[in-house]
Copies of this chain bind each other. A is one copy, B any other.
Amino acid sequence: MQIEVYPTCDSVKNLSGKTAIVIDVLRATSVITTALFNGAKRVIPAPSVDDALILARKFEGHVLLGGERGAVKIPGFDLGNSPLEYKKELVSGKTVILTTSNGTRAIKASESAEHVFIGCFLNASAVAEKALKLALLGEAPCVSIVCAGTLGEFSLDDSACAGLIVDILVRNIEREKEPPELSDLAFACRDLYLKYQSNLKAFISHAAHYKRLLGLGFEKDIDYCLQIDVIDCVPVYDKKTLEVKIVL
């Protein structure tokens, strides 16, 4: 089994036959995971604000429009990109159309994969186990972890989460006695995660994006997004319908 990590959505290559796990810890994939866990019917990632508005018209308004530009809520949208906004009472049974600067682009960039899962610290074990199951069945022997990055650049928060997922995969594969093959970046991310696992926030505080969010008053979002394994479900992106759902 192979495990590889891509540092940004722009760096993603052809993923055909592979399982992609898309990560944008701060905050798009944490938002998607939270919204679906809280009962949203589906999340539709939209590349641009215009795309989101056009989609919303198709649904004749029976949707929630969410997302950010420059980390803040888009004028006229119902919700921003804070996972704490996506409460059960607000999203349950609803369709959410989401457009963000990095995360929704990373999902689009992973469309060539056989399976596209949405991952973050919140559901790290769940998403790793789902990918591992497919690999052990021989369905998709390579797991490609796609970090969204921040504005086209490598991001410490995403790479730490990638490192955690690599570590879970490696530990579980070792149990299966099959040695995994790590790409250079998969090795480096795991190494960084293992070094800083006891104080993730201190590590991630060196990230440019962390500092930006902190300056905008989003510290509660950061604390929420850094919780590990508090959600036990995996959002799956359906390439045919272009929507993300939880598939049981």
Contact = CB atoms under 8 A, between A and B. Distances in A.
A133 to B, nearest CB: 26
A102 interface: no
A110 to B, nearest CB: 16
7 contacts: A10-B11, A11-B152, A153-B183, A154-B183, A154-B188, A159-B184, A184-B207
Contact of A206 (B13, B156, B187): B187
Interface in A1-17: 7-8, 10-11, 13
Given A7-B7, A13-B152, A152-B13, A208 B195 contact: no
A206 B192 contact: no
Contacts of A154: 7, 183-185, 188
Contacts of A159: 184, 188
A19 to B, nearest CB: 18
Contacts of A208: 183-184
Interface string A167-191: 0000000000000001111011001
Interface of A: 7-8, 10-11, 13, 150, 152-156, 159, 182-185, 187-188, 191-192, 195, 206-209
Nearest to A13: B152
Number of copies: 2
A92 to B, nearest CB: 36
Nearest to A207: B184
A209 B184 CA distance: 9
Nearest to A189: B188
Contacts of A188: 154, 156, 159, 188, 192
Most chain B beta-carbon neighbours within 10 Å: one of A8, A150, A156: A156
A156 B182 CA distance: 12
A162 to B, nearest CB: 12
A180 B155 CA distance: 18
Contacts of A13: 152
Contacts of A155: 184
Most chain B beta-carbon neighbours within 10 Å: one of A155, A184, A192: A184
Contacts of A156: 184, 187-188
Contacts of A152: 11, 13
